[in-house]
Structure 1
């Protein structure tokens, strides 16, 4: 699945290039929208006492993104979830050149105990259907 975002001026540094930390915002937004497209909503998970903190992030920057461009974010779940859920990303500029590739791993965690838990059954069933 892919999502398109406009690069905003506030996301760039003095050189007019998207600051490296802002790529995380694109990844997170695409992941949330990807889950919502599968009818899995973050706020509903949180109401159920399930949190999804980031465990690991890897980003390889290949080309700069600049103000005024759009960034296309392609995201997919990397494997069936268990205690962890992983996502693979490709970010492309308007010429469809890969500007970055990323991997993000989240952990299903109980909000009460702050300990890892298995992927909730209803989420697992949706993601493995």
Structure 2
């Protein structure tokens, strides 16, 4: 299992009229979590794309437990429970500054060959970096 953490501060424009984070923003927070998770491994979306692999989102699930509020510093915990194959599943937990769990989510992405548009395996460098976490 691989797990990482990153933080994001809620901006005013991400909130609704009630002062809560608008529900659609959680997909963006998930993206921040997974991009930073890969970056902490030494991989970037840019480098993966330069290797000829795209990672489109196939599924996006979210469960709202409590509202996040303007100016809170949220902690996004991103987890990979299994070694990626042709697909990669990220799980997310979002906590507020007090440590309360506000949201859980999951995204499923596919690895797609940029040239052919067909599913493919993850780049070998990604597999090599992740392998020690799944032994």
TM-score range, shorter chain: over 0.9
1:14 maps to which of 1, 12, 17: 17
Query: 2:94 — aligned with what?
Result: 91
Gaps of 5+ in 1: none
Q: TM-score by structure 1 length?
A: 0.96
Q: Secondary structure at the match of 2:24?
A: helix
Q: Secondary structure at the match of 1:126?
A: helix
Query: 1:47 — aligned with what?
Result: 50
Q: CA shift at 1:78, angstroms?
A: 2.2
Q: Distance in 1 between matches of 2:81 and 2:56?
A: 17
Q: Distance in 2 between matches of 1:22 and 1:48?
A: 29
Q: Distance in 2 between matches of 1:50 and 1:127?
A: 17
Q: Secondary structure at the match of 1:28?
A: helix
Query: 1:26 — aligned with what?
Result: 29
Query: 2:63 — aligned with what?
Result: 60
Query: 1:110 — aligned with what?
Result: 113
Q: CA shift at 1:49, angstroms?
A: 1.4
Q: Distance in 2 between matches of 1:4 and 1:37?
A: 13
Q: Secondary structure at the match of 1:20?
A: coil
Gaps of 5+ in 2: none
Q: TM-score by structure 2 length?
A: 0.92
CA RMSD in angstroms comes to 0.9
